[in-house]
Structure 1
Amino acid sequence: MDFSKKIINWYKKNYRKLPWRKTKNPYYILVSEFMLQQTKVSQSIKYYSNFIKKFPNINKLARAKEKDVLKEWEGLGYYSRAINLHSFSKKLKNNIFPKKYKELIKYKGIGPYTGAAIASICFNEVIPAIDGNALRVFSRYLGIFNDITSTKTKNTFRIIILKMMNSESPGLFNQAIMDIGSILCTPKKTKCLLCPVKDSCFSIKNGTVDKLPIKRRIKSIKHRFFYYIFICDSDKNIYLNKRSKKDIWKGLYDFPLIESKNKLTIHEIIEKICKKFRLIVSNIMIIFKIKHKLTHQILFIQFLNCEILQNLKKKIFFDNFFLIQHNKIGEFPFPRPIILFLKHEKMI
């Protein structure tokens, strides 16, 4: 029995029972694949179900406001995924979903893996979906010691795997590799004895399971210091801003922000508030702190309650900020650290 038949037979008996596995609807698969980029399956399940309930089809998503789409994504992270997913829905002509890999990857946010997963699972196109799981499985199985993060290596894998694929059930083949990588051929504590292709695995025969795959050195961790200025007027209306820069949390909302590469003293924060926002601060107090870890960044965040001498209603002190009623704050999508702050202050 060849490789593809063995793994598909294993998959049919051992596959993970995930909500998006119950359908071949390309929209549902698209949503799941966008969510699974950079996010664990266990975390994605709840978000997936709620998102599909809110936006049950591509039409409903296309008609939605970006703010509402991001609100459903709130807490899942990597918000550019939600923006790209929303953009995809609006760009479809006559609501015709692309069926071919080459058509799918023309859209922002749909890379080689996501495009191949949708094309193979939904439309039976014979094309390998190569993610981290697949690279780990095949580097161990075939004994490939090249750097799996390089484009050249990924292209080599694509050629090799294509020859190994089951042409009748490419979607099942790709999903089987996903699950073998997630359940058996894991980064650590592998379950090699349960693997359906253990008898022909290079790494099991040669004792190289723990040595593969080969990855280039991870980028250094960047530290950033965020100081959020919580300001409200006499009627308890709160100043908000929509993040527009191409950075983390683009499209989400936050408070006036002082950002620094280094930790600041209270005196330095006051100076920067005066300079950046042209405000005269009479008093400032730290009301909440949090350390937020991202893939290659650590954010040290403080929330500061400021007493301002100016009458804010008579002065527009910074661009792009607007006032909202305090009881409307739950309608806006925020980064997770701000959600935690708002919960701490019992505002949501």
Structure 2
Amino acid sequence: MPQTDWLFFRTALLDWYEPERRPMPWKGEPDPYRVWLSEIILQQTRVAQGLPYFERFVAAYPTVTDLAGADDDAVLKLWEGLGYYSRARNLLRAARTVANDLDGHFPDTYTGLKALPGVGPYTAAAIASFAFGRQVAVLDGNVYRVIARFAGDEAPTDGSSGRKHFQQAVDQAMGDTHAADFNQAIMDFGALVCTPRNAACPSCPLAKQCKARAKGTVYDLPVKKKSITKRSRYFHYLVIKDTKGSFLLQQRTTKDIWQSLYEFPLIEADTTDLRLRQLMESEAWPTWLEPNRITEGKRSLVYRQQLSHQTILAVFHQIEWRAPTKLPDRFVRIDRAAHSAYALPRVINRYLEDGTLTLDL
């Protein structure tokens, strides 16, 4: 492969860069708490979606100490709708580490930052460069794409060897340029010009030396060698209403999707094509929910939620329950309006917002 002219690359990139092209409230922000918070929120999240969450978090928890002292359920509720809830749990763990173990001060080095819960190589590099002026190049999806296309690099981006290969490439591309400016420039460039689809190649300042454009392989790069295996899961939620008009929620404790969120009692099956009577006869039916104490109600339409590696197909069974006074420990009783205090999976919120779409059994 012909040698890549990284001097041309960084010169043209920085000539193109203007912070106002992509204004965001954390740009140029020296506060490591806000930089860290923005980067955690934007992991696997578009800026347009993440910005309102950032603003709400800063308003509710202005400092890392405020966040460290927050109630877990309140933080999960504020995070509701962003998905990937492990990020929210790690957010709290990292905040408490900084507040309690580090006297409220974030580590100011790449290595120290990477030791925090939920902070990987990219996030550590971003915080180190933006908040502390460390000379570390970031490597995220935008950067992979820009580097691979400009260099015509067909090396797979996934896996540790791919990350190491492209980290070396972006380090060369950055050279001795101020890291914070270079990092923001290349990420903005990938978001605004060198986009996954409909890239602005005709007006691209890097076009004359872009190897992918010369070869006609712009949309073939970057390369991933692994394909994601997706599966479908079939959830039957029991919307149990007792004689006092209250509903039951339980906290999801398993190390699975939506850990620590609340949900209706759940039976997972191999299909959504099951009626309540069939569920009662299954081994998964909860032993505390005696069939002779319930009255069948309605069954919802099928609700769908697409996650990165799985598709959730959910049906809601509405049940009237002549309940005993004592519940299993993991349950809470709420009225319909009180569900807004609990963090729920999106598929349940959709059902609650659209609860009229029910079918008689």
TM-score range, shorter chain: over 0.9
CA shift for structure 1 position 230: 0.8
**Residues 141-178 of structure 1: CA distance to partner in whole angstroms, max 9, x if unpaired?**
11111111121011011122212215342011111111
CA shift for structure 1 position 13: 6.2
Relative to 1, partners in 2 of residues 1:235 and 1:321: Cα closer, same or farther, differing over 3 Å? same
Q: In 2, Cα distance between the equivalents of 1:170 and 1:274?
A: 55
Q: Which of 271-280 and 56-65 deviates more?
A: 271-280
2:80 to 74, 85, 96: 74
Relative to 1, partners in 2 of residues 1:99 and 1:17: Cα closer, same or farther, differing over 3 Å? same
Residue 19 of structure 1 corresponds to which residue in structure 2?
25
Residue 314 of structure 2 corresponds to which residue in structure 1?
301
CA shift for structure 1 position 129: 0.9
1:222 to 224, 228, 231: 231
Residue 351 of structure 2 corresponds to which residue in structure 1?
341
**How does 1:58-207 map onto structure 2 within 5 Å?**
58-92=64-98, 93-207=102-216
The SS at the match of 1:306 is strand
The SS at the match of 2:17 is helix
Root mean square deviation of aligned Cα:
2.0
Relative to 1, partners in 2 of residues 1:137 and 1:14: Cα closer, same or farther, differing over 3 Å? farther
1:235 to 244, 251, 256: 244
2:296 to 267, 280, 283: 283
Q: In 2, Cα distance between the equivalents of 1:307 and 1:247?
A: 29
Q: In 1, Cα distance between the equivalents of 2:320 and 2:55?
A: 43
CA shift for structure 1 position 191: 0.7
| Letter in structure 2 aligned against 1:299 | I
Q: In 2, Cα distance between the equivalents of 1:15 and 1:26?
A: 23
Structure 2 length-normalised TM: 0.89
CA shift for structure 1 position 66: 0.7
Q: In 2, Cα distance between the equivalents of 1:205 and 1:264?
A: 53
| Letter in structure 2 aligned against 1:324 | I
Q: In 2, Cα distance between the equivalents of 1:275 and 1:11?
A: 59
CA shift for structure 1 position 205: 2.3
The SS at the match of 1:21 is coil
The SS at the match of 1:239 is strand
Q: In 1, Cα distance between the equivalents of 2:262 and 2:284?
A: 22
Residue 255 of structure 1 corresponds to which residue in structure 2?
264
**Residues 252-290 of structure 1: CA distance to partner in whole angstroms, max 9, x if unpaired?**
111100112333420322323883234214424214531
The SS at the match of 2:214 is helix
Asked whether 1:313 is paired with 2:324, we answer yes
Q: Which of 189-198 and 124-133 deviates more?
A: 189-198
Q: In 2, Cα distance between the equivalents of 1:277 and 1:149?
A: 45
**Residues 266-325 of structure 1: CA distance to partner in whole angstroms, max 9, x if unpaired?**
0322323883234214424214531111112111111111133xx423454x45222234
**Contact 1:166–1:173 under 8 Å retained in 2:** no
The SS at the match of 1:286 is strand
Q: Tell me, which stretches of 5 or more residues in structure 1 are unaligned?
A: none
Q: In 1, Cα distance between the equivalents of 2:28 and 2:19?
A: 15
Percent identity of paired positions between Structure 1 and Structure 2: 33
Would you tell me which structure has more helix in proportion to its own residues?
Answer: 1
Q: In 2, Cα distance between the equivalents of 1:130 and 1:261?
A: 40
Residue 359 of structure 2 corresponds to which residue in structure 1?
none
Q: Tell me, which stretches of 5 or more residues in structure 2 are unaligned?
A: 1-6, 357-361
Runs of 4+ in 1 over 6 A off after TM superposition: none
**Contact 1:243–1:249 under 8 Å retained in 2:** yes
Structure 1 length-normalised TM: 0.92
Asked whether 1:324 is paired with 2:334, we answer yes
Number of aligned pairs? 343
